[in-house]
């Protein structure tokens, strides 16, 4: 999952703050200490962390909480503000139909995977992406990108025997008649050396890409900032795509370091698969990290799966019957794993692990069980006592324990949804206060 530790740390700090009966100087100090610890363990530069915590502390103690906000709530609002600042303003980059996009970066940073992810993303936006493999350095590069392009059904050009990346790119552009969004995957070298820089420089001056994205590995933490600096010295870098954010304990460090060098992070890679790719929006991201959820993200996933917003919203709705569980199970299949969806929901830390790890097979069994229930039972499962339970089990060809297990799951889910309803009150309050948080 994305930045587990950072998220758990921040949510932990926010939760203890919200539990505090009085928010005095001491509480504020403890709270900022918690935030500091979390950020530093995520490899955020120490100076940046101190500047941020100082701001939170000062603003938290001096500012009069706006409107009906309590001091603690205001502190959370300030934290959100400051974290968004730390991770960069998060502008969007417009991608156009005839863009030439060049991906650069050191070896193994994720360029080839990202080329395919970006192509898939662009295709979903209704544009017409095409891929060129300009890596003559690594033998398998051609096959790797060709296979990915087939997987996402995007035109591909490359030359397994070619020795000169520049002429491969030129031939590719000719082949594609220079139409569509052309994404060029370049080669990486073990280190960022002069040869690589010269090569990139040559490609840039001849091909004149409209956008050059630097692909950086988030597991390098703060180091990513240094790389961004170095690349920018030698070539034009329009923005950064940060990969491997899923497995990185240092992602916070990587993002903040890029922001500090003025290289905006536009996209993030959050897994090995082509769909594990997101636009980076610091507001939404921070909202997710501190536990306000990412409703937009949830709706996007729903859209990708061709679901209407209503259904997606119902997954989170306060009214929660077995009908919702049923739809939920159906949706989960289409929208991706429960884990990925839950990641977008508020205060997911509260969700019992067994729910996140629930297996597809079991879910399908439960669907069959629910098919044997009456409408009334679906609406109000509490009426399913001994006799009904036996009937449902028999009707669905399952064991009574399985039916019971489903009912226990339902109860837990309902309880959780209810507690999220409480979180929603806070978010609504914050929204009224001008914070752009969550829903
Ligand atoms: N977990 C995770 N793995 C990723 C991500 N992006 C890339 N990878 C993996 O990182 C490894 C290197 O990715 P590539 O796309 O081949 O990297 P590259 O920059 O093209 O490498 P070279 O062409 O050798 O320079 C592969 O095993 C990918 O599956 C990501 O966002 N998350
Ligand atoms: Mg590659």
The answer to whether residue 95 sits within a structural domain is: no
- The residue assigned the tokens 């863009």 is 99
The tokens for 152 are 């996402």
Same domain, 223 and 326: no
Q: Give me the number of domains the chain comprises.
A: 3
Residue where a domain stops, chosen among 36, 54, 87:
87
Give the pLDDT of residue 139: 79
Q: What are phi and psi of 55, to 5 degrees?
A: -60, -45
The tokens for 93 are 């980059």
Give the pLDDT of residue 76: 86
Question: Quick one: which atom of ligand 1 is closest to the CA of 106?
Answer: 25
pLDDT mean across residues, the chain = 83
The answer to whether residue 439 sits within a structural domain is: no
Helix-helix angle 295-304:322-335, to 10 degrees: 70
Q: What are phi and psi of 338, to 5 degrees?
A: -55, -40
Say whether 178 sits in a helix, a strand or coil: coil
Same domain, 65 and 200: no
* Element at 269 (helix H, strand E): strand 265-269
Same domain, 167 and 221: yes
Residue 272 Cα to ligand 1 midpoint, Å, equals: 7
Q: Are 156 and 146 in contact (CB under 8 A)?
A: yes
Question: Quick one: which atom of ligand 1 is closest to the CA of 188?
Answer: 25
Phi-psi label, residue 66: left if phi above 0, alpha if psi -120 to 50, beta otherwise: beta
* Residue to mutate (ligand 1; options 105, 113, 165; most atoms within 8 A of CB): 113
Same domain, 306 and 281: no
The tokens for 307 are 């679901």
∠ CA 249-252-253, rounded to 5° = 95
Rounded to whole angstroms, the Cα distance separating 10 from 27 reads: 15
Instruction: Give the CATH number for residue 304.
Output: 1.10.260.30
The answer to whether residue 128 sits within a structural domain is: yes
Higher pLDDT, 56 or 284: 56
Residues 6 or more apart whose Cβ sits within 8 Å of residue 394: none
- pLDDT-based confidence at 436, cuts 50/70/90? very low
Give the pLDDT of residue 331: 63
Same domain, 145 and 76: no
> pTM of the predicted model, to two decimals?
0.75
Same domain, 266 and 318: no
Same domain, 248 and 370: no
Q: What confidence tens digit (pLDDT) does each residue in 213-228 have?
A: 999 999 999 999 999 9
Q: Are 410 and 322 in contact (CB under 8 A)?
A: yes
The answer to whether residue 173 sits within a structural domain is: yes
The tokens for 293 are 């959820």
Q: What confidence tens digit (pLDDT) does each residue in 379-401 have?
A: 899 999 989 999 999 999 999 99
Same domain, 309 and 390: yes
Same domain, 125 and 273: yes
Output the ligand 1 site: residues, CB below 6 A.
105, 107-113, 135, 138, 141, 188, 243-244, 246-247, 269-272, 276
Question: Quick one: which atom of ligand 1 is closest to the CA of 135?
Answer: 23
The tokens for 176 are 């594609």
* Rounded alpha-carbon distances, angstroms, from residue 50 to 42, 54, 220, 290, 439: 14, 6, 21, 19, 30
Give the pLDDT of residue 318: 53
* Residue to mutate (ligand 1; options 135, 199, 272, 278; most atoms within 8 A of CB): 272
Q: Are 129 and 154 in contact (CB under 8 A)?
A: yes
Output the residue whose Cα is nearest ligand 1's atom 1.
271
Residue 120 Cα to ligand 2 midpoint, Å, equals: 17
Q: Are 23 and 75 in contact (CB under 8 A)?
A: yes
Same domain, 47 and 124: no
Residue 114 Cα to ligand 1 midpoint, Å, equals: 8
Residue where a domain stops, chosen among 257, 289, 321:
289
Give the pLDDT of residue 438: 37
Residues 6 or more apart whose Cβ sits within 8 Å of residue 247: 219
The answer to whether residue 326 sits within a structural domain is: yes
Q: Percent of the chain beyond pLDDT 90?
A: 49
Strand-pairing partners, residue 268, are 242, 278
- pLDDT-based confidence at 346, cuts 50/70/90? low
* Element at 152 (helix H, strand E): helix 141-152
Instruction: Give the CATH number for residue 283.
Output: 3.40.50.300
Residue where a domain stops, chosen among 289, 311, 326:
289
* Residue to mutate (ligand 1; options 2, 4, 102, 108; most atoms within 8 A of CB): 108
Say whether 408 sits in a helix, a strand or coil: helix
The tokens for 279 are 């636009």
The tokens for 419 are 């507690």
Q: What confidence tens digit (pLDDT) does each residue in 238-276 have?
A: 999 999 998 888 999 999 999 999 889 999 999 999 999
Same domain, 67 and 114: no
Is pLDDT of 437 > 50? no
Same domain, 217 and 285: yes
Question: Quick one: which atom of ligand 1 is closest to the CA of 144?
Answer: 16
Higher pLDDT, 101 or 439: 101
The answer to whether residue 108 sits within a structural domain is: yes
Task: Please list all protein residues whose beta carbon sits less than 5 angstroms from ligand 2, which is an ion.
Answer: 111-112, 141
The rounded radius of gyration (Å) of the Cα atoms in the chain is 25
Residue 279 Cα to ligand 2 midpoint, Å, equals: 21
Rounded to whole angstroms, the Cα distance separating 260 from 158 reads: 36
* Element at 254 (helix H, strand E): helix 251-260
Output the residue whose Cα is nearest ligand 1's atom 29.
272
Residues 6 or more apart whose Cβ sits within 8 Å of residue 68: 429, 432, 433
**Span between the terminal Cα atoms of the chain, in Å:** 22
The answer to whether residue 255 sits within a structural domain is: yes
Q: What confidence tens digit (pLDDT) does each residue in 80-111 have?
A: 889 999 998 767 899 999 999 999 998 899 99
Residues comprising the chain, all counted: 439
Higher pLDDT, 87 or 422: 87
Distance of CA 360 to the CA centre of its chain: 22
Residue 112 Cα to ligand 1 midpoint, Å, equals: 7
The answer to whether residue 347 sits within a structural domain is: yes
Residue 135 Cα to ligand 2 midpoint, Å, equals: 7
- DSSP labels for 320-375? --HHHHHHHHHHHHHH--HHHHHTTSTTGGGS-HHHHT--HHHHHHHHHHHHTS-H
Instruction: Give the CATH number for residue 52.
Output: 1.20.120.140
The tokens for 431 are 């929204």
Q: Are 435 and 80 in contact (CB under 8 A)?
A: yes
DSSP 277: E
The domain containing residue 141 runs over which residues?
100-289
Higher pLDDT, 65 or 151: 151
Give the pLDDT of residue 197: 83
Rounded to whole angstroms, the Cα distance separating 349 from 74 reads: 22
């Amino acid at each position: 999952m994305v930045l587990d530790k950072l998220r758990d740390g921040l949510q932990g700090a926010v939760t203890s703050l919200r539990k505090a009966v009085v928010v005095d100087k001491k509480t504020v100090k403890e709270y900022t200490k918690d935030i500091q610890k979390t950020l530093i363990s995520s490899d955020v530069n120490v100076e940046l962390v101190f500047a941020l915590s100082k701001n939170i502390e000062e603003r938290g103690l001096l500012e009069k909480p706006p409107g009906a906000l309590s001091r603690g709530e205001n502190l959370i609002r300030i934290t959100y503000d400051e974290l968004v600042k730390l991770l960069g303003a998060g502008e969007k980059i417009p991608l156009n139909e005839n863009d030439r996009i060049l991906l650069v970066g050191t070896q193994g940073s994720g360029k080839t995977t990202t080329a395919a992810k970006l192509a898939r993303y662009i295709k979903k936006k209704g544009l017409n992406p095409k891929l060129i493999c300009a890596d003559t350095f690594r033998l398998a590069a051609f096959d790797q990108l060709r296979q990915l392009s087939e997987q996402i059904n995007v035109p591909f050009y490359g030359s397994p025997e070619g020795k000169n990346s520049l002429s491969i790119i030129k031939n590719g552009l000719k082949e594609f008649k220079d139409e569509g969004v052309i994404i060029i995957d370049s080669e990486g070298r073990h280190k960022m050396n002069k040869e690589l820089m010269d090569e990139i420089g040559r490609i840039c001056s001849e091909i004149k890409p409209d956008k050059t994205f630097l692909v950086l590995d988030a597991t390098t933490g703060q180091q990513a900032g240094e790389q961004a600096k170095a690349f920018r010295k030698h070539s034009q870098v329009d923005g950064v795509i940060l990969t491997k954010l899923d497995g990185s304990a240092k992602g916070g460090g990587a993002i903040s370091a890029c922001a500090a060098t003025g290289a905006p992070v536009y996209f993030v890679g959050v897994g090995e698969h082509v769909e594990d790719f997101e636009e980076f929006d610091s507001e939404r991201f921070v909202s997710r990290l501190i536990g306000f959820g990412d409703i937009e993200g949830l709706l996007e996933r729903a859209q990708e799966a061709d679901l209407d917003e209503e259904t997606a919203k119902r997954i989170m709705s306060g009214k929660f019957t077995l009908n919702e569980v049923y739809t939920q199970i159906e949706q989960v299949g289409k929208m991706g794993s429960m884990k990925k969806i839950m990641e977008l929901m508020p205060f997911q830390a509260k969700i019992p692990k067994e729910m996140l790890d629930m297996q597809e097979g079991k879910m399908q069994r439960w669907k069959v069980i629910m098919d044997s229930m009456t409408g009334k039972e679906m609406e109000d499962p509490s009426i399913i006592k001994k006799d009904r339970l036996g009937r449902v089990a028999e009707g669905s060809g399952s064991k009574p324990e399985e039916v019971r297990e489903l009912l226990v799951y339902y109860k837990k889910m309902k309880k959780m949804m209810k507690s999220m309803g409480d979180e929603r009150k806070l978010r609504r309050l914050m929204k009224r206060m001008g914070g752009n948080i969550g829903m």
